[in-house]
Amino acid sequence: MGFFYSFVASMLAALPFWLASKAVIFAYKNINNNNFAHFKPVFILFIALALCCGLRFLFLYLKAKSQESIGFQIAADMRLEIAEKLKKTSMGYFSENNVGSLLNAVTTELSMLELQSTKMIDVIINGYINFVVLCLFMLAIDWRAGVVIFIVGLLGTLIIEQINKKSRQNSDIANHIQTKMANNVVEFIRGINVAKTYGLESTVLDGLRSVFGQSKRIRLKIQAKFVSINSVLLLLLDSATVVTILICVCNQQDNQLSLNFFVTLVFFSYVLFNSIKEMPDATHILGAIDDNLHHLKQLDKMPLIDMAGADLKINQYGVEFKKVGFGYEKEKVLHDVSVVIPENKTTAIIGPSGSGKSTLCKLIARFYDCDEGEVLVGGHDVREFSYSSLIKNISIVFQKPYLFHDTIKNNILFGKTDADMAEVLRASKKACCHDFIMQLPQKYDTVLDEGGNSLSGGQKQRLSIARAILKDAPIIILDEAMASVDPENEWILQQAIASLVFNKTIITIAHRLSTIQNADQILVMDAGRIVQKGNHRELMAEPGIYRDFVNIKEKAKNWQL
């Protein structure tokens, strides 16, 4: 309907020129006539002119109303679609792709789509409609002028197509630098504290300035190319306007064109190419949007992990690795790992940095899919589960917990969204965080900063444990949950974790002897392989990494500053 309204508006744009020319000529011929009755046709013409203008604005309004919301709706749908895919995407995608790239896609690129797409398409399509209507009108009045205008229109179309081609090529370069800028800004924000600590904030800022300068140079270069091509088009159109007027003058002097139509064509000539003059800018922007859409379509290739899974229910919660191999891109991290993690027992995993401890745990929660072998939970390959049915059996407490910009209550409710306040309080008390929450101004309704930066590390960790307690999953993964807490918080966290792990299958990555020694099973990893397995007593009886590790820890107890 929008294009129909545009066509009618174009017809109504042509008619006023003819009416205005008739009114001007009639008034000119009767300029010395003082009889008011002779000017009645002029008033009728002006009323018709006003009616045409009013109807044109009405149809333009109807066109805008039917088209303007389309871009916003498309962008909103695409954002929701991307969010839905991100929810089902392997965690490897987020590790291998910079946050800035995703940020650029869902903000800058989609914002351009929703704000500009329908407007620019409207300018181009309606520009052609306007030109064709006015060109036909011109052909009906004087075919010679009409032919000139038609030829110029074709040449203009070829130039506009060239602008579109260049814009698509340049847009890829512009998007690349835009993504680079977004990555650098994210890195600057995340690293400013470290930079200030070493007095290098100016150095980091210089890097940011360099990227901004590079962006400016690239965009100025792109704009310069566009301006040069657009200038050729504008020169062509203005020259065609002059030629059209000259043709009209010659035809009028040869009496091949009436005075009425001569005035109409002269009026026409000044506005005939206006619709085409607007099209290069629109084409330039659409070229960029088209490249943005291509970039957004690349997100369709995100590796999804929830495609063929079923909602499986299990009644035993042991974990088993069968000849598991896994790597990040070309780097192999795990090699032929086979081990059973028994149900309702505590298994501690230790090993040097980079030995594959965290990766092993991430495969259980299906943050990644293994390249070789199988990871079994409750006797089923994790790939047989839908992600939601798998993860409801697993709680993870990370070394660096993330808290959302929301109330404390809602952050805890991430563990169980339908829990009532009594359950939240019970989980908070078990996690030893109820007391400090009650000291906050709004208590459980206190809104946290993004990441929970207003709380200490120990407080954030206790809130994450409260989440896990509320979830009450049968399998608990503790990913170095106490690696960076002070002794006072360690004792409190040990109490909180004791409430969490009762009668559960526990997998803990730890460096503290107090955590490791009491484990039912200890797995020692090195270079992506399990090199030792047993309990503390068994492993201390044999030479190896574990005994060396314990001896170093024991010696470190006697160190003093």
For 319-556, CATH gives 3.40.50.300
32-54 mean pLDDT = 68
Give the pLDDT confidence score for residue 288 in this predicted structure.
Answer: 65
Q: What's domain 70-301's architecture?
A: Up-down Bundle (1.20)
70-75 mean pLDDT = 65
For 166-198, the pLDDT digits (tens) are 776 776 677 677 777 777 777 777 677 767 666
Among the ranges given (177-181, 230-234, 537-541), the one the predictor scored with the smallest mean pLDDT: 177-181
Give the pLDDT confidence score for residue 107 in this predicted structure.
Answer: 65
pLDDT at 487 over 80: no
pLDDT at 483 over 60: no
- Report the alpha-carbon distance of residue 428 to residue 411 in Å, rounded: 11
In this structure, the strands spanning 505-509 and 521-526 are unpaired
pLDDT at 472 over 80: yes
510-532 mean pLDDT = 81
Measuring CA to CA, how many Å separate 350 from each of 162, 283, 465, 520?
A: 62, 59, 21, 14
Percent of the chain with pLDDT over 90: 0
Give the pLDDT confidence score for residue 112 in this predicted structure.
Answer: 63
Q: How is 311-359 classified by DSSP, letter by letter?
A: ----S---EEEEEEEEEETTEEEEEEEEEEE-TTSEEEEE-STTSSHHH
- Report the alpha-carbon distance of residue 537 to residue 102 in Å, rounded: 49
For 125-138, the pLDDT digits (tens) are 777 777 777 777 77
Q: Domain-by-domain residue ranges, the chain?
A: 70-301, 319-556
Q: Which of 224 and 332 is assigned the larger pLDDT?
A: 332
- For the chain, the helix, strand and coil percentages under 3-state DSSP, each to the nearest 5: 65, 10, 20
Distance from CA of residue 136 to its chain's centroid?
A: 46
Q: Which residue has the tokens 């294009």?
A: 3
- Report the alpha-carbon distance of residue 309 to residue 424 in Å, rounded: 31
- Report the alpha-carbon distance of residue 230 to residue 277 in Å, rounded: 9
